Amino acid sequence: MHFKEHGVILKKAGEAIEKVSYRGMDIELLASYDGTEIIKHYLHKGARWSVGPTPNWDALEFIYILSGELHLLIDENQYQLNSGDYVKMLPIKSTCIFQADENTEFIYATSKPVFHSYSQTIEQLKDLGIAVEEKDGYTADHCSRIMRISMLIGERLKLRATELLYLNLGAFLHDIGKIHIPDSILQKPEKLTKEEWDEIKKHPIYGHDILTQTNLPSLIQAAKIVEQHHERYDGKGYPYGLKENEITIGASIVSVADSYDAMTTDRVYRKALTEEEALAQLIEGSGSMYNPEVVQAFLSIYENFKKRGEKL
Ligand SMILES: [Fe+2]
């Protein structure tokens, strides 16, 4: 509704200029003028949202919690935020991750425009996510589960907020490189030839290149995790045969989460292992396949879930 003579525009709830939905987030651009943007975020319980520094970025950013409950992670620090709390950044110097503990609504205001670059990033990620789903008989559930388990391990290992952000992206997109592997190889029911297997082994490199080519800083960082997710702690993995601490911690985490999820899921060629059998395999591979610290963190998370009677 316009009251032109008064210079007033009245909008009803839900009448946003632009809307984007992505992985548990609904984002609405409510108003923008001369670079200033007012954006409303709705984070579903468990969803994460982040803001971080950008070179030459000098703007006021302001977040006001309308309802719900979330926590803010800055480096290794955590802060609880509730309705009425607010965060001011001028300019932001470290990545901040906001994780919704309940369904949460907040207003994000910034004195420089972000919505367009931001929704473009989201669209690119969405496309990449869909591309993964269409390949290799995976579903988005597989990627989401790996992302969730990886984040639990990352938090347990007290990774810094920026590393958690890259882990979140790298875990979800770990197999994105498979979009460059022919279906005739990926979906071949018979045993693969050596040449075909060599081609499959290139998917971490393809994935790295796809993410790097987006030119988005956080995806470029996540590319390292994607590139190394099949490396082994003992150096017998691929593509580079990196070992121990040469492998980025994010990739070591995704490796454990990916293996556990693959083992406990039915595939066309075999039935799922029980959780206990899968855990036994992780323990057996600790120090050879997997980083022992990561296996240890995973086991304690598993035990905690079990104690609470919840399923991981
Ligand atoms: Fe993979």
> Ligand 1 centre from 293 Cα, in Å?
21
List active site positions: 178
User: What rounded mean pLDDT belongs to the chain?
Assistant: 87
Cβ–Cβ < 8 Å for 119, 156: no
The dihedral built from the CA positions of residue 210, 22, 129 and 96, taken in this order, carries a sign that is: positive
Higher pLDDT, 221 or 248: 248
pLDDT value at residue 92: 84
Percent share of the chain, pLDDT over 70: 89
pLDDT tens readout for residues 68-123: 999 999 888 899 999 999 999 988 888 888 999 999 999 999 887 665 556 566 66
Task: Using the predicted structure, report yes or no on whether residue 136 has a pLDDT greater than 80.
Answer: no
pLDDT value at residue 165: 80
Alpha carbon separation from 90 to 54, 66, 93, 118 (Å, rounded): 12, 21, 8, 19
The model's pTM: 0.72
Of the segments 12-21, 136-145, 191-200, 267-276, which one has the largest average pLDDT value?
191-200
Of the segments 134-143, 148-157, 215-224, which one has the largest average pLDDT value?
148-157
> Ligand 1 centre from 177 Cα, in Å?
8
Task: Using the predicted structure, report yes or no on whether residue 175 has a pLDDT greater than 60.
Answer: yes
Under the banding of pLDDT at 50, 70 and 90, the label for residue 149 is: very high
Query: Averaged over 288-294, what is the pLDDT?
Result: 98
> Ligand 1 centre from 117 Cα, in Å?
29
Task: Using the predicted structure, report yes or no on whether residue 143 has a pLDDT greater than 70.
Answer: yes
pLDDT tens readout for residues 3-34: 778 888 888 888 877 777 766 888 888 888 87
User: How many C-beta atoms lie closer than 10 Å to residue 226's C-beta?
Assistant: 31
Query: Averaged over 248-275, what is the pLDDT?
Result: 91
Task: Using the predicted structure, report yes or no on whether residue 227 has a pLDDT greater than 60.
Answer: yes
Cβ–Cβ < 8 Å for 296, 304: no
Task: Using the predicted structure, report yes or no on whether residue 129 has a pLDDT greater than 90.
Answer: no
Task: Using the predicted structure, report yes or no on whether residue 229 has a pLDDT greater than 70.
Answer: yes
Query: Averaged over 152-163, what is the pLDDT?
Result: 88
Cβ–Cβ < 8 Å for 91, 121: no
> Ligand 1 centre from 183 Cα, in Å?
15
